[in-house]
Homo-oligomer: A and B are copies of this chain.
Amino acid sequence: MPRRIVIIGAHAAGVDAASAARKTDRTAEITLITDEKYAGYSRCGLPFVIGGRIPSFSNLIVFSPSYFQMMKLNLKTETKVTKIDVSKKTVLVAKNGNIEEIPYDSLIIATGASAFTPPIKGREKKGILPLRTIEDGQRIDQAIREGAKTAVVMGAGLIGLETAVALQERGLKVTVVEMLPQVLPAMLDADMAKMVQEMLEQKGIRILTNKPVEEFLGVDKVTGIVAGGEQINADLFISAFGVRANTQLAVDAGVALGETKLIKTNPRMETNVKDVYAVGDCAESIHIVTQRPVVQQLGTVAVRQGKVAGINAAGGYAVFTGVVGSAVTELYDMQIGVTGLTEAAAKRAGIETITGTVSSKTKAEYYPGALPIRVKLVVEKESQRIIGAQVIGGEEVTQRINAASFAIQKQMTVRELAKADTAYAPPLNETWEPLVLAAEMVLMKLR
């Protein structure tokens, strides 16, 4: 009898798990279940559709129905899993009022995360719009088409800022409200975040930090908020406070959570329950530097975990080797990236650090079109190992982050980085690579 693999979730983690399972076991019966209308699309692309850089939400569907057919994956959309029974090894699903029991040999939980709004006075009112699904995106797009002229984005994380830029590109007047003292608080140190905030303000986005949202105003529908004592009215209110992992189904089935409140797994992505795996935004990861569990809800982590679980669920063998938290975005023409620990995160983890920051150019000084770039390196003082890097610049930020990520993963010391062999050509780089110069800055402090 063919192996039955059931996957709850059909986006990055779920589809990559299914694909890996199919490649591992050609005969398995593989079923993906999602309560959404659309499967296999890129959530990360949503702000760029709203901003108009990507023509349509349908462009985001990376895995079309024909992909699922070709890979012989049984996809159930708009179908809700109501229960996992780990003793019977079944999941109960509901679609249009019909209940079905689906048996599994291996189960992969890829239930993801949902946007959430904190318990703020008035949050039951209509018109607080998150941006997590295509439907969310369509709702925001519709509001703009209907004439919204002003927007408040609540939360200055990645999604918040990407959405703020998108709305401004659509012609809205945008205010971003953030409870913490800086933008991108989970991604950047305050000194680097300042550059981002200044750029956004120059572009005309109003940014209020240190301003927790205290109340939603309006009768049925929100017409304003109170944040840090200030009332701000607008036509559109985006909830970008953050996301919460969807773990209830797992918890109800006896699947254990870790100290991060996400599902705990071993390196094979197995939960505490036999033949049950968890991957993606609902599962925690081990950080390669701290060796502690962390919440790392990123698309790249989701696909890597999904692949490992898919191989294992199909009878193969694979391990997930952990995360360093490499992330990147583009706001207007500014690229912003991070890998490893920020100085602040290292401090919270009790790690003594030395940092080095340099400003340079993306091409030879004399080459027309050279853009500014700034690199901050975080080094563990005792081991002299690189444990983090932040890069903000006009181009080639992503691959600098990847280069630094490789350095962290391979425990490169700051001295090794200062002597590293790098590539150079006038149209493409400076002779001395900024990452190398930042390492030199750290060495000067170590002397």
Taking Cβ atoms with an 8 Å cutoff, the residues of A that contact B are 12, 42, 44-45, 48, 53-55, 59-60, 62, 288, 298-301, 303-304, 320-330, 335, 337, 339, 364-368, 395-403, 405-407, 409-412, 416-417, 419-429, 431-433, 435
Known: A42-B426, A44-B424. 16 other contacts (CB 8 A): A48-B367, A53-B427, A54-B366, A54-B368, A62-B364, A300-B423, A303-B432, A321-B416, A324-B421, A326-B422, A326-B423, A337-B423, A402-B423, A402-B435, A406-B417, A410-B411
What residue of chain B has the Cβ atom nearest to residue A300's Cβ? B424
CB distance from A386 to the nearest CB of B (A): 10
Using known A-B contacts A328-B423, A424-B299, A427-B330, determine if residue A402 contacts B400 with beta carbons closer than 8 Å: yes
Q: Are A300's CB and B422's CB within 8 A?
A: yes
On chain B, the residues within 8 Å of A328 by CB distance are 423-425, 428-429
CB distance from A434 to the nearest CB of B (A): 10
Complex: A39 Cα to B321 Cα, angstroms: 50
Complex: A177 Cα to B55 Cα, angstroms: 46
Q: Are B403's CB and A399's CB within 8 A?
A: yes
Complex: A428 Cα to B400 Cα, angstroms: 12
On chain B, the residues within 8 Å of A424 by CB distance are 44, 298-300, 327-328, 398
On chain B, the residues within 8 Å of A300 by CB distance are 421-424, 431
Residue of B12, B53, B304 touching A368 (CB-CB under 8 A): B53
Q: Are B423's CB and A366's CB within 8 A?
A: no
Q: Are B426's CB and A366's CB within 8 A?
A: no
On chain B, the residues within 8 Å of A44 by CB distance are 364, 424-426
On chain B, the residues within 8 Å of A425 by CB distance are 44, 327-330, 398
On chain B, the residues within 8 Å of A55 by CB distance are 368
- A and B contact pairs by CB, cutoff 8 A, 8 listed: A44-B426, A48-B426, A300-B424, A301-B421, A328-B428, A403-B406, A409-B420, A410-B416
Complex: A324 Cα to B420 Cα, angstroms: 9
Complex: A412 Cα to B403 Cα, angstroms: 12
On chain B, the residues within 8 Å of A402 by CB distance are 399-400, 403, 420, 422-423, 433, 435
On chain B, the residues within 8 Å of A53 by CB distance are 367-368, 427
Using known A-B contacts A45-B366, A426-B48, determine if residue A406 contacts B410 with beta carbons closer than 8 Å: yes
Complex: A322 Cα to B421 Cα, angstroms: 8
On chain B, the residues within 8 Å of A399 by CB distance are 396, 398-400, 402-403
Q: Are B419's CB and A321's CB within 8 A?
A: yes
Q: Are A364's CB and B42's CB within 8 A?
A: yes
On chain B, the residues within 8 Å of A60 by CB distance are 366
On chain B, the residues within 8 Å of A337 by CB distance are 423
Q: Are B397's CB and A45's CB within 8 A?
A: no
Residue of B42, B288, B330 touching A421 (CB-CB under 8 A): B288
Residue of B48, B366, B407 touching A42 (CB-CB under 8 A): B366
Complex: A48 Cα to B432 Cα, angstroms: 19
Complex: A122 Cα to B402 Cα, angstroms: 51
Complex: A429 Cα to B403 Cα, angstroms: 14
CB distance from A54 to the nearest CB of B (A): 6
Q: Are B330's CB and A62's CB within 8 A?
A: no
On chain B, the residues within 8 Å of A429 by CB distance are 328, 398
What residue of chain B has the Cβ atom nearest to residue A45's Cβ? B426
Residue of B299, B329, B431 touching A431 (CB-CB under 8 A): B299
**Which of A48, A300, A323, A406 has the most chain B CB within a 10 Å cutoff?**
A406
Complex: A4 Cα to B320 Cα, angstroms: 57
Q: Are B48's CB and A427's CB within 8 A?
A: yes
On chain B, the residues within 8 Å of A397 by CB distance are 428
Complex: A434 Cα to B406 Cα, angstroms: 14
Q: Across chains A and B, which 7 residue pairs bring their CB atoms closest together, nearest first?
A: A399-B399, A410-B410, A403-B403, A326-B423, A328-B423, A59-B366, A401-B423
What residue of chain B has the Cβ atom nearest to residue A321's Cβ? B419
